[in-house]
Chains A and B, each alone.
Chain A
Amino acid sequence: MADKKDRFIVTTGEPVGVIAAQSIGEPGTQMVLRSFHYAGVASSIATSGLPRLVEIVDTRKKPATPFSYVYLKGKAAKNFEDAEKVVKKISEVRVNDIARRILENFSKGTILIKLDDQRMEANELTAKGVASKIEKLTKIECSASENAILVKTHTKNTKQIRSMAVQIGKLTVNGIENAGRAVIKQDKETGEFYIVTNNSNLVGILGIEDVDSSKIYTNDIFEIYRVFGVEAARNAIARELDTVLREQGINVDKRHLFILADAMTLSGGIKNVGRRGLSGEKESIFARAAYEETVKHLINAAAFGERDDMRGVTENVLIGKQIMLGTGSVTLAIKKEDLAKISEKKGKK
């Protein structure tokens, strides 16, 4: 068994990074050609294919279509009504979602929010409740009538009132801020209920009691990095890459993706794959100059009297030296002269 396992260990000097790059890059070229779109429910369209792949390797701060999966524990996982209660707690409702219109009155310095009865009912909200929530968040006096809220701004500056009205529209009056709209789904195999949101706020969602904190997932890699740390972020990168490629019917070995994810998170943060990340931070001046912004790198190197130790691949190919990889990774351990000395000694004995 041990023997068999050892046979699969990568040989010393194997350029695993190049192999990983080729293994991901080659099928990547096919992705551009067959990008298909799903016709279906508008809300379920997540970025996929090449745009998503680019998003991951470029380490965008926020994905174009963030979402999170929230798994439940206890009764809520089995019972629809209980799950619905959790959804009510999570699902983000903003003033804009429940307001029919938001009217500013510049002469009186007030903002009138006309509420939509149907939407209020659907979200089980009352005008009073919403008003107190707005008051709490903005620290501005509000009064509620049956289906309207009046915000007294105490200012007559048109510009201020305008911006206030816009900000009030964005206030979260129910649910978790930035969690997005939540929808219940049922796992086909286990029959358990889980929640899908179209934005992600892990910290907020984890604060809810019925949420299974061991299974929560989001496609926002930076969110994972902030909440769970680099190790989790590294796994998230690999997993997201795998999902994107698999969706396109491309099968890339996970180990290649792990190499990429490892390289991106090696420093403890998340680095992108480009001139402001992995490639831009290469040790060799020549390797950096060969990639992008040639003159910038050369001038900087000159200004600081930098030195290139010629240890990488690119720079050695450039000057025409044997690369220190594969068959080139071996060097002499004993010098020729020393070898002569050793054999001399042996001869004496």
Chain B
Amino acid sequence: MAKRAINDKCYVYINGKILGYVKDGRAYANEIRTARRGGVLSGEVNVSYVKKLNAVHINTDSGRIRKPYIIVEGGKSKLTPELIEKLQKKEVDFNYLLRHGVLEYLDAEEEENALVVFKEADATPDTTHLEVDTTSIFGFTLNTSPFPEHNNAARHAMLSNFIKQSQGLYATNFNLRFDSRAYLLFYPQAPIVSTAVYDAARMQQHPSGQNFVVALTTYYGYNMADAIVINKGAVDRGLGRSMFYKTYTDEERRYPGGQKDVFRVPPPTAEGYLGEHAYSKLSEDGIIEPETTVEEGDVLIGKVAPPRFLEESISASGLEEKIRDDSSTLKAGERGVVDSVVFTESTGATKVVKVRIKSLRIPEKGDKFASRQGQKGVAAYIVPQEDMPFNDHGIVPDLLLNPHSVPNRLTFGHLLEEIAGKAGALSGKKIDGTAFAEKGSSRIEEYGKTLEENGFDKFGDETLYDGITGRRFKAKIFNGIVYYNRLYHMVSNKLQVRSRGPVQILTHQPTEGKARQGGLRFGEMERDVLVGYGASLLLKERLLDQSDKATVLICKECGNIGYYDYIKRTVVCPIDGGTAMSEVEISYAFKLLLDEIKSMHIFPGLKLKE
């Protein structure tokens, strides 16, 4: 039986709602398209014929993602050489082309009906559209990366993320801004190897990276598995140096009942007073002064608030109203200098203070760097310049990348950028790395030629000497210039240590998370490991002694938990009033469990053995 369409009638849907049916859906769809191109219908109307369902879908609603294409008819682009000339003379513009049926926007559904070619030369009589530019098959972020057509698609996903995470000159008015977090690179450079989209977006005016001299070589064991080695000399000269800004904000809130917060140095009588030392850096108005060096625990904004509960203020004997300290302190592990302080007003007409802290971030071990090719790495060693390898010219690389990073990841773009960057630096010209740019494979020869003209090897290989022994490396080392981004993942913001610290109120177990100075959870699977080793005392130490050990009194008669009566100076069992008790060490979590079981009307008695 021949395959037949599900419906003999071709239904027409407008924005998903059924409108009626037509005999020939394809012809109907084409009719609508002609009308749109002729200006009879709005250019925002998209139509598609779905062959599988024999239906026509017309979409006019908002929220569709659309993309412009050049219309092709009979294998010929509607964007004729004459029009291109007019465009260059600025006699016509993009909107003119849209109105005159040269360009049109397609949405995802209509794209299914289109046959699109990259180049006009590839067009056949069946072709319906031509890409405006070949780079438009990639997104914006990817198009700022050079040579994306030479990389693995999996790397594209990564590099698009890295580019967004890089520190740079994010805004030229950074000094006036109070972003809650901001990263500012000290000496941002425009990349030597740039792309058309990068230039068109004027990214070179606020770049987010620097051109690094990169040698593809190992450095003892220091750059294994995505670790990178950086030249300390370069770091001292400002490579990757950046400033981290963080803004602390506080507000004089109003409460029902006419009470409000007050910015001031809290008096020692305030509830939760942190001690005289913590407020020592505040000025008279209770706010810290600019250019003050601050450490963790220092108060930045002194503030007092009314008590949380109404009774507290009433029950307070004496004339003085009870107040609570609600100051903002610098978080644990942070340090820096107060950069700027601003007083403003909120929409609710309350006083607002913003304090911006700056802290210098010199590249250190543990900071993350990435090229625009999805090659990320963590600095593992900042080598003194005299210990770094150098070449005949005395050039010392800024960064040593392990050659194992390249082959299985197929980031040929990285290698290409190295040579291109080197050629660009030697010739003093910017190199175009736009995706699918003209000449393609002959690029490498072009760069090689430039290198040779300047007395370098055409493949980018150079003789390097070990900085420590002074010996010449047996192999020639591939090196060049790659644009690297310093990503905002820096150890100094993530470092966390705990030996003793706060515990949770409910369970008496250590807190979790960096903000609460927490520990790392010794979980169920970790517990199983100690059980597997039979390390019974180590297990007890981890789970009891270093966690929620509690000493409780257990009644020898009924097995209930008792307490010490300080007035009578004796131990008491609350059930039978007995005084025969023994002290037992249990986990507080177990005491909690017993309490919860009791709340279910079950009495859990403990029978003790000597």
Using a CB–CB cutoff of 8 Å, the interface residues on chain A facing chain B are 13-15, 18-19, 21-22, 295, 298-299, 301-302, 307, 313, 317-329
Whether A320 pairs with B543 at a CB distance below 8 angstroms is yes
Contacts of B549 in A (CB 8 A): 320
Contact A298 B602 (CB under 8 A): yes
B600 and A320 within 8 A (CB): no
Which residues of chain A are within 8 angstroms of B533 by Cβ–Cβ distance? 326
Q: How far is the CB of B419 from chain A (nearest CB, A)?
A: 38
**What is the bound-complex CA distance between A295 and B600, given in angstroms?**
9
CB-CB nearest in chain B for A302: B602
Q: Are B590 and A298 in contact (CB under 8 A)?
A: no
Bound CA span A68–B164, Å: 58
Contact of A322 (CB < 8 Å), options: B529, B532, B536: B536
Query: Are B534 and A298 closer than 8 Å at their CB atoms?
Result: no
Closest chain B residue to A315 by CB distance?
Answer: B590
Q: Chain B residues near A326 (CB, 8 Å)? A: 531, 533-536
| Beta-carbon contact of A15 and B527 below 8 Å | no
- Cα–Cα, bound, A326→B534 (Å): 4
The answer to whether the Cβ of B597 comes within 8 Å of any Cβ in the partner chain is yes
CB-CB nearest in chain B for A324: B536
Q: Once the chains bind, are A327 and B537 in contact (CB under 8 Å)?
A: yes
- Indicate whether A317 sits within 8 Å of B532 (C-beta atoms), given known contacts A298-B600, A299-B602, A302-B602: no
Q: Residues of B at under 8 Å CB distance from A? A: 527-529, 531-537, 539-540, 543-544, 548-549, 585-587, 589-590, 593, 597, 600, 602-603, 607
- A21–B532 Cα gap in the complex (Å)? 10
**A301 surroundings in chain B (CB, below 8 A):** 602
CB<8 Å pairs between A and B, sample of 27: A14-B534, A18-B528, A298-B600, A298-B602, A299-B600, A299-B602, A302-B600, A302-B603, A313-B531, A317-B531, A318-B590, A319-B586, A320-B543, A320-B544, A320-B585, A320-B586, A321-B586, A322-B540, A323-B536, A323-B539, A323-B540, A325-B536, A326-B531, A326-B533, A326-B536, A329-B534, A329-B536
Name the one of B529, B534, B586, B603 contacting A328, with C-beta atoms under 8 angstroms. Answer: B534
Q: Looking at the assembled complex, report how far the CB atom of A322 sits from the nearest CB atom of chain B, in whole angstroms.
A: 5
CB-nearest residue of chain B relative to A11? Answer: B534
- CB pair A317–B543 under 8 Å, yes or no, is yes
Complex CA–CA separation, A13 to B543 (angstroms)? 21
B248 CB to nearest chain A CB (Å): 41
Report which of B532, B543, B590, B593 forms a contact with A15, defined as CB distance below 8 A: B532
Cβ of B588 to closest chain A Cβ, rounded Å:
9
Kindly state the separation between the CA atoms of A328 and B534 in the bound complex, as whole angstroms: 7
A22 touches B528 (CB 8 A): yes
Give min CB distance, A291 to chain B, whole Å.
Answer: 11
B586–A22 touching, CB < 8 Å? no
A-B contact count (CB 8 A): 74
In the complex, the answer to whether A298 meets B528 with C-beta atoms within 8 Å is: no
Least CB distance from B534 to A in Å reads: 2
User: Which residues does chain A contribute within 8 Å of B603, judged by CB atoms?
Assistant: 302
* Residues of B with C-beta under 8 A to A319: 586-587, 590
Partner of A19, one of B532, B590, B600, B602: B532
- A318 and B540 CA atoms in complex are apart in Å by 10
User: When chains A and B are docked, how far (Å) is the Cα of A13 from the Cα of B533?
Assistant: 10
Would you give the shortest CB distance from B607 to chain A, in whole angstroms?
Answer: 8
Given contacts A322-B536, A323-B536, 9 further A-B contacts (CB under 8 A): A18-B532, A298-B602, A302-B603, A313-B531, A320-B549, A322-B539, A324-B536, A326-B533, A329-B534
Q: Once the chains bind, are A328 and B537 in contact (CB under 8 Å)?
A: yes
Cα-based distance from A286 to B544 in the complex (angstroms): 17
Task: Please tell me which one of the listed residues B529, B540, B597, B607 contacts residue A320 in the complex, with CB atoms under 8 A apart.
Answer: B540
Cβ of B587 and Cβ of A325 under 8 Å apart? no
Residue in chain B with minimal CB distance to A289:
B593
Interface of A is mostly: helix
- Shortest CB-to-CB span from A222 to chain B, Å, is 31
Let me know if A320 and B532 touch, CB within 8 A.
Answer: no
Alpha-carbon distance between A328 and B539 when the two chains are bound, in angstroms: 10
Contact check, B590 vs A320: say whether CB atoms are below 8 A apart: yes
Pairwise interchain contact A15-B531, C-beta atoms closer than 8 A = yes
Which A residue's beta carbon lies closest to that of B593?
A: A318
A323 and B586 within 8 A (CB): no
Q: A325, B534: Cβ atoms under 8 Å?
A: yes
CA distance A277 to B536 in the complex (A): 27
Q: How far is the CA of A298 from the CA of B600 in the complex (A)?
A: 10
Contact among A22, A302, A327 with B536 in the assembled complex (CB-CB below 8 Å): A327
Cα(A44)–Cα(B589), bound, Å: 53
Contacts of B529 in A (CB 8 A): 22
Quote the shortest CB–CB distance from A325 to chain B (angstroms).
5
Chain A residue at minimal CB-CB distance from B584: A319
Measured in the bound complex, the distance between the Cα atoms of B537 and A302 in whole Å is 32
Q: Identify which of A14, A18, A320, A329 gathers the most chain B CB atoms within 10 Å of its CB.
A: A320
Q: Which 7 A-B pairs have the closest CB atoms?
A: A326-B534, A328-B536, A320-B587, A320-B544, A302-B602, A18-B532, A319-B590
Are A327 and B540 neighbours in the complex by a CB distance under 8 Å?
no
The minimal Cβ–Cβ distance linking A10 to chain B, given in whole angstroms, is: 11
Residues of B with C-beta under 8 A to A325:
531, 534, 536
A299-B602, A317-B543 known; A18-B531 Cβ under 8 A: yes
Q: CA–CA, A116 to B397, complex, Å? A: 82
Once the chains bind, are B540 and A15 in contact (CB under 8 Å)?
no
B316 to chain A, nearest CB (A): 42
Contact B535 A317 (CB under 8 A): no
> In this complex, what residue of B is CB-closest to A321?
B540
For B535, what are the chain A residues with a Cβ–Cβ distance below 8 Å? 326-327
Alpha-carbon distance A307/B603, docked complex (angstroms): 12
CA distance A19 to B529 in the complex (A): 8
Query: Which residues does chain A contribute within 8 Å of B540, judged by CB atoms?
Result: 320-323
Whether B539 pairs with A317 at a CB distance below 8 angstroms is yes
- Chain A residues within 8 Å of B544, by CB: 320
What's the least CB distance linking B551 to chain A, in Å?
Answer: 11
Give A328 to B600 CA distance when docked, in angstroms.
34
Residues of B within 8 A of A321 (CB): 540, 586
| In the bound complex, CA of A327 to CA of B534 (Å) | 6
- Shortest distance between the CB of B507 and any CB in chain A (Å): 13
CB distance from A311 to the nearest CB of B (A): 12
Residues on the B chain within 8 Å of A295, using CB:
600
B58 CB to closest chain A CB (Å) equals 41
- Closest residue of B by beta carbon distance from A301: B602
What residues of A have a CB within 8 angstroms of the CB of B597 in the complex?
Answer: 298, 302
Residue of A nearest to B532 (CB): A18
| B531, A323: Cβ atoms closer than 8 Å | yes
Contact (Cβ within 8 A) A15 B534? yes
Instruction: List the A side residues contacting B602 at CB < 8 Å.
Output: 298-299, 301-302
A79 to B587, CA, bound (A): 72
Q: Which residue of B lies closest to A23 (CB)?
A: B532
B585: chain A residues at CB < 8 Å are: 320
Which residue of the partner chain A has the closest CB to B601? A302
Q: Would A317 and B537 be within 8 Å (CB), given that A299-B602, A302-B602 are in contact? A: no
